[in-house]
Amino acid sequence: MATDASPLTAAIATGREILRASRGIVILTGAGLSADSGLTTFRDPKGHWKRHRPEDLATPEAFRRDPCLVWEWYGVRRRAAADTAPNAAHLAIAAFALRRDDVVIVTQNVDGLHTVAARQAADERSRDTSGEPAGEVAGELACRTKALPIELHGCFYRARCSACGRCYEHRDRIDTSSQQALPHCAKCSGLLRPDVVWFGEPLGEPIDRAFGYAAQSDVCVVVGTSAVVQPAASVAVVTRRAGGAIIEVNPEETPLTPMSTVSLRGTAAEVVPRLLAPGRRHG
């Protein structure tokens, strides 16, 4: 019988074996995961930072200087995310987190696609187990929660008051024609900003939680991040320093490659479903 003995297939088999023998798995994701849903990354040749300066769009100073420009950029990105869907890698990650009880998803992405995938995977799973569509029942909600990510850099479907800090779910179209037209706080009338983390801002409680899980995990699976932005990239380093393994999924090398146990050179949608698929001997 012919076998597919490509180096990638062999490396995926090694990765699966590591996962099978592991207890505690952190999955750290970045923009490359959503590239397979058609969203733009930051540092690739067609990435945001090749066309815009981060200082003009992703710092608190930029927002103070020109909030209309910053909201405009987030408006464009929100529309792109709303017009797409989780890809096979998002769905495989969510299904994996639902199957096991020791998986934590940590994302730098602000596009909400992990959350959409969590809902889809939970619906799928409860259809499989009960024969009925899940709907908004408590069990399905509890199940879906297992596949919700720790969002290190926030979420662009939330807005936060730049004066009082109150947070709002915010999916409406944004009128960027003037500062007065931008969304304002219902409580104190302060200007709302996207609830995301810009350069120079602290990541707060989510990074502490992510580091805590990373330190106790046997593996960190790193998908689609250039791993140049700190402290997010250090989540994988924490697992490695605690004696765990890193499995990297990325078409390109990154600063994490030299410390990775397995490097899977392919796209997220191509590799992750194969890495995380259920198997006879796989959790």
CB closer to Zn ion out of 184 and 282: 184
Q: Among 43, 166, 209, 265, which residue interacts with ligand BJW (rule: CB under 6 A)?
A: 43
Provide the CA 159 distance to its chain's centre, in angstroms.
18
Q: Is 67 in the site for ligand BJW (CB under 6 A)?
A: no
Q: Confirm if 179 and 137 have CB atoms less than 8 A apart.
A: no
Q: Tell me which stretch binds ligand BJW (CB under 6 A): 6-14, 62-70, 194-202, 239-247.
A: 194-202
Q: How far is the CB of 30 from ligand BJW (least distance, A)?
A: 3
- Which one of ligand BJW, Zn ion, none interacts with residue 188, CB within 5 to 8 A by kind? Zn ion
| Known active-site residue 52 | no
Residues paired with residue 182 on neighbouring β-strands, in sequence order: none
Residue 177: DSSP 8-state: S
Select from 187, 190, 197 the least CA-distant residue to 58.
197
What is each CA distance from 207 to 23, 51, 144, in whole angstroms? 21, 29, 22
Cα–Cα distance measured from residue 18 to residue 22, given in angstroms and rounded to the nearest whole number: 6
Q: Among 53, 230, 241, 279, which residue interacts with ligand BJW (rule: CB under 6 A)?
A: 230
Catalytic site residue from 90, 153, 170, 184? 153
Which residue, chain included where needed, has tokens 């990775």? 260
CB closer to Zn ion out of 181 and 188: 188
Instruction: Please report, as residue ranges, which positions from 60 to 79 form the binding site for Zn ion (by CB under 5 A).
Output: none
Instruction: Please report, as residue ranges, which positions from 260 to 279 form the binding site for ligand BJW (by CB under 6 A).
Output: 267-268
